[in-house]
């Protein structure tokens, strides 16, 4: 296995020049695994060249590939839905934390008659916020799966 820092340089060995080539040559003189990797690359290159030398590509091939890549890239435009769902989800989480703090922390003194109704409303609000957070997280997961 070639040294990771030299793999890309060895793949482009035929095209590099100057100081970069000298650096790679120096490394090749010292590293047997990189020499072996370069030799394997040469064998593959020779074999591919021999196998596909007769094949001719039309002049329209490269522009057609570029058009297709551009068309597919434009078809996969990024959606802002995941970001909006993130914002809503974090907002719901903050709301839930606020409701939980309001429910758990000692209440501000109020009339006794309203205390039971206030506790019930806080419990219902916290439960609703929890369900809302679960729904938003589920929608976010669905949006990630569709991406």
Predicted model pTM = 0.41
Q: Is the pLDDT of residue 33 over 70?
A: yes
pLDDT in tens, 34-55: 899 889 999 999 998 888 888 8
Q: Is the pLDDT of residue 115 over 70?
A: no
Q: Is the pLDDT of residue 147 over 60?
A: no
Average of per-residue pLDDT across 115-141:
72
- Reference 138, options 94, 98, 88; nearest CA is 88
At 36 the pLDDT is: 92
- The total of other beta-carbon atoms located within 10 Å of residue 84's CB is 13
Number of H helices, E strands in the chain: 6, 0
pLDDT in tens, 57-114: 888 888 898 898 888 776 666 667 777 777 788 888 888 888 877 778 776 665 565 5
> How far does Cα 70 stand from its chain's mean position?
20
- Where exactly are the structural domains of the chain? 4-55, 81-146
């Amino acid at each position: 296995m070639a040294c990771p820092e030299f793999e890309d340089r060895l793949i482009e060995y035929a095209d590099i020049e100057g100081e970069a080539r000298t650096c790679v040559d120096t490394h090749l003189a010292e590293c047997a695994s990189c020499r072996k990797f370069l030799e394997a690359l040469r064998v593959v290159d020779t074999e591919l060249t021999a196998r596909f030398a007769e094949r001719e590509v039309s002049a329209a091939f490269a522009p057609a590939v570029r058009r297709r890549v551009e068309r597919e890239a434009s078809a996969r435009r990024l959606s802002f839905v995941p970001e909006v769902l993130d914002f809503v989800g974090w907002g719901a989480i903050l709301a839930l934390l606020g409701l939980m703090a309001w429910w758990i922390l000692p209440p501000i003194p109020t009339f006794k008659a309203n205390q039971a109704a206030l506790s019930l409303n806080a419990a219902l609000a916290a439960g609703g916020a929890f369900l809302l957070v679960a729904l938003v997280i589920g929608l976010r997961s669905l949006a990630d799966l569709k991406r």
